Amino acid sequence: MPIKAVTIDFWNTLYDSSGGEGRDRERFAIMMQQTERLGAMSVSHHDLKAAHKAAWEHFNVVWKEQHRTPPTRSMVEFFWNHLAVDADEEAIETVTTAFCEGVLNHPPALLPGVAEVLAVLSTTHSIALISDTAFSPGRVLRKIMERDGIAQYFNAFSFSDETGVSKPHPKAFQTALAGLAGETFDVSGAFNVAECVHIGDIERTDVAGAKNIGMRAILFAGDPNARMNDEHKHLPTEADACAESWPDILRIIKSW
């Protein structure tokens, strides 16, 4: 059965994770400025790194167990609580903005072949994005895609900070397909789920979520630095195909 609709993950599928060190430096610098403004002179860079690590551990628990991603502001509030600093609204909002928009100054890079393959796929398929967000919300990731000239290829977007759920929750996928169908998602609508494929790098979220609602799935292994590679590289996959590059993806979809 030919594929009519394609949904795609953002991190480590369209984009790599580069720029993280620059984002952290900028965010830590602004947070340090605010701690000094608040008179919390005992907070050190080591303390900030420890709070950052704890915040990510908290994020991962919520993400994996509750199938949602905490909003950036709540993650920043977690930071302040971990530091035991009584932050005011100015400190919370300033640091939240820094964490949200840091990716604009230190962006990730498009993976090789993405723009070229999207340009081809978009002529024959409807395309949507399904992304679990962390510190960088959907409204900011859209700007990255627009700046790189690939947003034009997407007909719908499903970001976890906007839908309230993260993959593998069915709503993450149904929101994207509903956007493509132009109506509340239903298998009797514009797309049959068997004619849709999701492309992503994580077995637990991308592959499992797609397969659970009847979509096909391509496990993407084209980013060797993907953080979640170790979760599944020695395990069998439930994906219908595996791709090592974006040209591989085009070949697989055309073969169907």
Judged by average pLDDT, the poorest of 119-128, 220-229, 243-252 is 220-229
At residue 188, the pLDDT reads: 47
Interatomic CA distance for residues 77 and 93, integer angstroms: 10
Average pLDDT for residues 151-156, to the nearest whole number? 97
What is residue 92's predicted lDDT score, i.e. its pLDDT?
A: 97
* Token pair for 13: 């599928």
Contact (Cβ atoms closer than 8 angstroms) between residue 222 and residue 248? yes
The answer to whether residue 140 scores a pLDDT higher than 80 is yes
pLDDT greater than 80 at residue 130: yes
Whole-number Å distance between alpha carbons of 225 and 78: 28
pLDDT of residue 224: 86
**Percent of residues, the chain, with pLDDT higher than 90:** 88
pLDDT at res. 230: 55
pLDDT of residue 183: 46
Adjacent-strand bridge partners of 200: 219
pLDDT band at 184 (very low <50, low <70, confident <90, very high): very low
Note whether 17 and 227 are within 8 A (CB).
Answer: yes
Q: Locate 136 and state its tokens.
A: 């960088």
- C-alpha to C-alpha distance for 209 and 163, rounded to whole angstroms: 15
Residue 110 β-bridge partners: 15
pLDDT (0 to 100) of residue 189:
53
- Per-residue pLDDT reduced to its tens digit, 50-91: 999 999 999 999 999 999 999 999 999 999 999 999 999 999
Residue 231 pLDDT grade (very low, low, confident, very high; cuts 50, 70, 90): low
Q: How far apart are alpha carbons 218 and 232 in whole angstroms?
A: 14
Q: Quickly state the pLDDT bin for 225 (edges 50, 70, 90).
A: confident
pLDDT digits (tens, 9 = 90+) for 18-39: 999 999 999 999 999 999 999 9
Q: Report which of 139, 135, 132 is spatially closest to residue 27, judged by C-alpha positions.
A: 135
Under 8 Å between Cβ of 130 and 178: no
pLDDT at 185 over 50: no
Residues 147 and 78: their CA atoms lie apart, in Å, by 31
How many angstroms separate the first and last alpha carbons of the chain?
A: 6
In this predicted structure, the answer to whether residue 104 has a pLDDT above a threshold of 80 is: yes
Q: pLDDT digits over 190-222, tens only? A: 668 999 999 999 999 999 999 999 999 999 999
Which SS3 state, helix, strand or coil, does residue 31 take? helix
Q: Does the pLDDT value for residue 155 go beyond 80?
A: yes
Q: Is the pTM of this model over 0.75?
A: yes
Backbone angles phi, psi at 15, to 5 degrees: -120, 150
pLDDT of residue 191: 65
Which residues make Cβ contacts (< 8 Å) with residue 9, sequence separation at least 6?
129, 130, 131, 167, 198, 199, 200, 201, 202, 206, 220
Mean of all residue pLDDT scores within the chain:
93
d(CA 46, CA 178): 45
Residue 228 has pLDDT above 90, yes or no: no
